[in-house]
Chain A
Amino acid sequence: MSSDDDKRDGPVPEDGSAASADREHDSDASTTERERGARVADETSATTPSASTPGQPDEGGGRSTSADPEGASTGAPTATALKEREEDWETIAKRYRADEATIDFSSQLGAVATQDETELLTINMGPHHPATHGVLRLLTTLEGEVIRDVKPIIGYLHTGIEKTAEDKAYWKAIPVVERMDYLAYYFNAMAYCGAVEDLLGVEVPKRAQYLRVIHLELNRIMSHLVWLGTTMLDLGAISILWYAFRERETVLDLFEYSSGQRMHTRYFQIGGVADDIPAGWADKLQRFLDEMPTRLDQYEAMLSKNEIILQRLKDVGVLDAESLQAWGVSGPLLRAAGVPWDLRKAQPYSSYDDFDFKIPVGTVGDNYDRYAVRIAEMRESVKIIQQALDGLPEGPVITGDRKVALPPRHELATSMEALIHHFKLVTEGMRVPEGESYYPIEGPRGELGCFVRSDGSSKPARVHMRDPSFVNLQAFGDMARGEYIADMIATLACLDPLLGGIDR
């Protein structure tokens, strides 16, 4: 490849200018600058030989066999030759077809794509890209249409929620914590409240635990529905979006009915839930539970036998269980690879051990398994909600500890002590004993854990969320490498990253 080396010396200034322009353009991504500069250098040096390919095959002996027949068929025809051809058109056509079959394009193709020195192209995707499910930026290195490397760049949605939570009283931090993973707001609140309850040593009443389970599982269904709609939209199955969002509206109606808000409901409190479910809520939920399995059947009838969907999903984005576990991946992605790891079973919280449900697992760990596992999880969630609704115990919905939970409204008019408690809680908040606590739960995307450190004051010293989207995104490179770029979109969608959770 000495000729290539000579050519590589040629475009050095061009190379340098390209790299510097790149650097100017993206001064924020300072960590990746050096690598990107290197990659750009590779790219330009690799581009030069292909730019000179038109001349190359003639110099090399690659096309010598094809040069002759082409010359024969198109070589300067005289009048007599033309006449002969007209007379004997059929034989000439036959000979031409035979010649054509001998033309060997492999060397020409090789010059473009399959040389030793491959042509790499660095393409930026995002942060504004309809298929990145938020403001994710992907720096992809392509060889033709094949992904050779992909580097996610995050931070475009950094909201400083963890820092903001440090500045708020314990129970006033719930609203900001809820807004981290904005499709799993009940889960965020659950992980945070659980961690604080552990520190406080508060016992959550059984009815509150069951109400929490009902809302958590409704939230899981809602999150998976949004995932289903947007993922299939990326794959071109547009109509499923309308069906999935129709059911999502039903779930959101239930949320609104029980808490007053569609999203970010702040229904979970430290020590229980904010209020009991209103009259008629259970009937409405029962109607939803009755119709949801048939809706899921309809989704599967639309998708699971759809040849285009199957071809786009099956054997795409495969990653074995060992690599997934090495990256720390959890949730539906890990279960799709065949590992039955679910914190609801492995480490039951909030009375999950009262319910009978199964953990759906896949076999291969491809995108189809990820799709199938999530559909099956929605069915299991429906079962859990049904059991929790049937066995919903009577009793209080929030702890009776007046240092933690607000006293009921009627007590304020009659009890001086209740008034003082109310005043202290609203103005200062609760004081939490010193210590650390980590409370992991099974979110819709995997292990969602909240770490809270208390210094004994009424504000948390540190709140940190172990968000599954952030950890799962690490494995994306291994999943996407070697895939086509269109399949990378499908793999990213099936990974289900949520940028609100990643950047926080």
Chain B
Amino acid sequence: MEVIRHGKAEAGIGPAAASPHALQPGDKDAFRARQLRARDLLRGELEGDDLEQHVRDSIVTTTLDKAAHWAQGNSIFPLTFGLACCSIEMISLVGSRMDLSRFGSEAMRATPRQADMIILAGRVSMKMAPVVRRIYDQMLEPKYAIAMGACSSSMGVFNNYAIVPADKFMPVDVHIPGCPPRPEAVVYGILKLRKMIQDDPTMAWRDRYRAHGTEETKPWSLTELEDRAGKAAELESREQDARA
């Protein structure tokens, strides 16, 4: 996430080039000056360069989108949904060794309507695939899916009539290899997803599946929908150009 902290951006050039007002650790005079500026601000007497400096020191500017994505990525609620072997390793994610709550994902939700992310932990059989799809459809956007383990990514060691890879019936954001993956690998996958959410949410499955225009929108924002369709067409033409 790009948060622009003005004071730091200036100080980032190097300690020698730092502005005279930038606070150095242990610099009592600068700290005192900052305190005085804060006092003056409260009195309404701060103006000119001092006011500018105070704003640079104390305010972080960002866009609302970025702030929202930052918050979203740091509190992904997974769905309590286990299929097979991987689900046991998924339970050990919330155990004391891995402790998924460090990354804000420990609040497992039992209903898809409250969950942000579904972890397909195990093999998805032909009989289970429609059920999984329905559960995924019941989740509210923004929603993310992780295919945990070889079976749900590529049918794994079985590779037979009974198993379906998850990509065949629903969009998947992150695939985690392993049979079953270690909990560390799953945490890595969740962190990848977090980065995906925080960097650019459009880089997730909609790009890969060319699914622009499927976002849940209010019925009256048709222009927005057209914009998205236009974006999809643009992507497509760009790909064609690249191919040509």
The residues of A with any CB-CB pair to B shorter than 8 Å are: 28, 127-128, 130, 134-135, 155-161, 163-164, 175-176, 179, 182-183, 226, 229-230, 241-242, 245-246, 248-249, 262-264, 499-500, 503
Residue B95 at the A interface, CB < 8 A?
A: yes
Contact A128 B135, CB 8 Å, known A158-B127, A159-B163, A164-B158: yes
Contact A164 B160, CB 8 Å, known A128-B135, A130-B80, A182-B85: yes
Min CB–CB distance A127 → chain B (angstroms): 6
Which of B16-24, B67-75, B86-94 is near enough to bind chain A?
Answer: B86-94
Do residues B96 and A264 form an inter-chain contact, with CB atoms below 8 A? no
Contact A264 B95, CB 8 Å, known A128-B131, A128-B135, A159-B123: no
* Most chain A CB atoms below 10 A, which of B92, B159, B179: B92
Q: How far is the CA of A500 from the CA of B161 in the complex (A)?
A: 16
Do residues B95 and A160 form an inter-chain contact, with CB atoms below 8 A? no
B-side contacts of A176, CB under 8 Å: 157-158
Do residues B161 and A163 form an inter-chain contact, with CB atoms below 8 A? yes
Contact A156 B125, CB 8 Å, known A127-B131, A245-B92, A262-B182: yes
Give B108-122 as 1s and 0s: 1 = Cβ < 8 Å from A's Cβ atoms.
Answer: 001000000000001
Contact A155 B110, CB 8 Å, known A135-B83, A182-B84: no
A-side contacts of B92, CB under 8 Å: 245, 248-249
Do residues A157 and B95 form an inter-chain contact, with CB atoms below 8 A? no
Min CB–CB distance B98 → chain A (angstroms): 9
Contact A249 B95, CB 8 Å, known A130-B80, A157-B128, A182-B84: yes
Contact A500 B85, CB 8 Å, known A130-B110, A242-B95, A264-B179: yes
| CB-based nearest A residue for B87 | A134
Contact A159 B158, CB 8 Å, known A127-B131, A130-B110, A242-B95: yes
Contact A157 B85, CB 8 Å, known A242-B96, A262-B182: no
| CB-based nearest A residue for B128 | A156
B-side contacts of A130, CB under 8 Å: 80, 110
Q: How far is the CA of A158 from the CA of B83 in the complex (A)?
A: 11
| CB-based nearest B residue for A131 | B110
| CB-based nearest A residue for B130 | A28
The residues of B with any CB-CB pair to A shorter than 8 Å are: 80-85, 87-89, 91-92, 95-97, 110, 122-123, 125-128, 131, 135, 157-163, 179-180, 182
Contact of B180 among A134, A175, A242, A263 (CB under 8 A): A263
Do residues A128 and B81 form an inter-chain contact, with CB atoms below 8 A? yes
A-side contacts of B157, CB under 8 Å: 175-176, 179
Q: How far is the CA of A226 from the CA of B83 in the complex (A)?
A: 15
Subset of 10 A-B contacts with CB under 8 Å: A130-B80, A135-B83, A176-B158, A182-B84, A182-B85, A226-B88, A241-B91, A249-B97, A262-B89, A263-B89
Q: How far is the CA of A168 from the CA of B81 in the complex (A)?
A: 31
| CB-based nearest A residue for B81 | A128
Do residues A163 and B128 form an inter-chain contact, with CB atoms below 8 A? no
B-side contacts of A499, CB under 8 Å: 84
* Most chain A CB atoms below 10 A, which of B89, B96, B157: B157
A-side contacts of B123, CB under 8 Å: 157, 159
Q: How far is the CA of A161 from the CA of B128 in the complex (A)?
A: 16
Min CB–CB distance B108 → chain A (angstroms): 8
Min CB–CB distance A422 → chain B (angstroms): 23
Min CB–CB distance A219 → chain B (angstroms): 13
| CB-based nearest B residue for A137 | B131
Do residues A179 and B85 form an inter-chain contact, with CB atoms below 8 A? yes
Q: How far is the CA of A263 from the CA of B88 in the complex (A)?
A: 10
Q: How far is the CA of A449 from the CA of B69 in the complex (A)?
A: 52
Do residues B162 and A159 form an inter-chain contact, with CB atoms below 8 A? yes
A-side contacts of B87, CB under 8 Å: 134
A-side contacts of B110, CB under 8 Å: 130
Contact A245 B95, CB 8 Å, known A158-B127, A163-B161: yes
B-side contacts of A128, CB under 8 Å: 81, 131, 135
Q: How far is the CA of A128 from the CA of B163 in the complex (A)?
A: 18
| CB-based nearest A residue for B85 | A182
Do residues B162 and A183 form an inter-chain contact, with CB atoms below 8 A? no
| Given A157-B128, A158-B162, 20 additional A-B pairs, CB 8 A | A128-B135, A130-B110, A134-B83, A155-B127, A157-B84, A157-B125, A158-B126, A159-B123, A159-B125, A161-B158, A182-B88, A226-B88, A242-B95, A245-B91, A246-B96, A262-B182, A264-B85, A264-B179, A499-B84, A503-B125
Min CB–CB distance B78 → chain A (angstroms): 12
Do residues B80 and A263 form an inter-chain contact, with CB atoms below 8 A? no
Contact A160 B97, CB 8 Å, known A183-B88, A245-B92, A263-B88: no
Do residues B83 and A157 form an inter-chain contact, with CB atoms below 8 A? yes
Contact A160 B160, CB 8 Å, known A249-B95, A263-B180: yes
Do residues A127 and B96 form an inter-chain contact, with CB atoms below 8 A? no
A-side contacts of B135, CB under 8 Å: 128
Do residues B127 and A156 form an inter-chain contact, with CB atoms below 8 A? yes
A-side contacts of B131, CB under 8 Å: 127-128, 135, 156
Min CB–CB distance B80 → chain A (angstroms): 5
